[in-house]
Structure 1
Amino acid sequence: MTTTTGSDTIERVGVAGSGIMGTGIAELCAKSGLDVVVAVFSDASLDKGPQRLAASLDRGVARGKLTAEQRDAALSRVTYTRDLADLADRQLVIEAIKEDEPLKLDLFATLDKIVEDPHAILATNTSSIPVVRLSAATRRAEHVLGLHFFNPVPALPLVEVVPSVLTDRAVSDRALTFVRDVLGKQPITSPDRAGFLVNALLFPYLLSAVRMVESGLATAEVIDQGMTQGCSHPMGPLRLADLIGLDTTVSIAQAMYEEFKEPLYAPPPLLLRMVEGGLLGKKSGRGFYPYA
């Protein structure tokens, strides 16, 4: 399935990064019938990336969400590479690397030189960095926007489409149509400000929960029980922070605090110490909770 703007048809998608988010985006695009090239940045990721994708698709088969044939077809549509030049023919490239502004700026500057189609969309999955800041690394700011997916990408229906003040209206309309009609997600247009829309609401809540633990007011278990059983949230704030990654939580909070200087966005000392100690949440095996 494809979407068009004039003669433009998005059939070839590139994903830069093969972590949790990059893998989820690649899986979603492959299951939507698109040709996907995933660029990775280490030899280890050349092995781990395909393994992570296959494991996710296998879970989908085990849960009855897709057939073995659909899994195999999706896998056949995804290629992994260490050479960014292999993204040259892509019509849409989605950046999904670490939430590190200098790294993202370097990547966008490189993609700008590599991607041949002048109408190709360069998108970022950043959770907090203003899109216009990343677009400044390119000579095609009108074709740069944010596509902010949520974890787990295959399951959660929402995608924030984030045009900057320099993004062409036709490009953002094309992205909205692509997300809705090709990927089958529910897009919303969010403002280009640190945290966008969802995280601007979510992160003060998460950080308040961390401060409750830090002050000794309540344990993580009690706080999470209160929100799941008292407010019908599917997951409590501390377990959600572990799922997001405590390092990512710090990065997003710092970006929002830098932009707004609001104390509610400042990461609490406990959170900073946990990250400095390597307690990153589910990804490291321990955060506010232990993981197998």
Structure 2
Amino acid sequence: MTIETKILDGKAVANRIKEDLKTRVASLKEKEVTPSLVTILVGDDPSSETYVRMKGNACERVGITSKKIHLPEDTTTETLVQTIEELNNDTSVHGILLQHPVPSQVDERLAFETIAIEKDVDGVTSAGYGQTALGFGTFPSCTPAAIMKIMEEYDIQAEGKHAVVVGRSPILGKPVSALLLNQNATVTTCHSRTADLASHVRQADIVIAAVGKPEFIKGDWVKEGAVVLDAGYNKGNIGDVEYEAAARKSSYITPVPGGVGPVTIAMLLKHTVIAAEKTVR
């Protein structure tokens, strides 16, 4: 049987989200509220610099005010926590994003936990994760939110399906497992140390790749007709899935780049706008 694979176009989904946000931002500005996102960058990691610039540019295109706070490499946990607390108390700031990773001397988890939950637009606090898992969170982590949004846009139902998530990070694998479970999928969460990973993936109706290893999931592991959502991004524009081989067997697949990534940034913008809207209700 020949499978007609459909490409899940993340750029198109992201553009639809951003067009909607432009209208919502204009409405907020009529009420004299401009959504504002502050990104904190600690140190001089070139990849982080690129990500922060991309997020800033995306904000500007929909009318969100974007500010970057760049702290030196030798910043202490205490200084970073104080910076976040000041932003928590600044009513003009609606979203706070601490760019990962931070230098090794900084307690990243403590810094994340300092972010006020109503400004945790990147979904990094344990309280935000707990609310997501329990089904009433406002701001799930942005990549899991992007995966669910792509499925919604393409009318891919999770209910009754077996989803296999490969990855268990606190801002991707774990929360997307919870979101799928909340939509009545049966969820198996795997990782790089799962014994006989291939056998688990072969059972999946929906494969979520979130392990951070290039082409770690082989195409011949994918069941005929499965949906493949690749949230990995590795050097050389390579995802976590062996794309060409998986595309021959899947019913839907996200490309890398142009799949989950653009929607992740769009969801960050959406969360920032929602946070601003909550201040005027």
The TM-score range, normalised by the shorter chain, is 0.3 to 0.5
Larger proportion of helix: 1
TM-score of the two chains, using structure 2 as the length reference: 0.35
Higher relative contact order (CA 8 A, sep 6+): 2
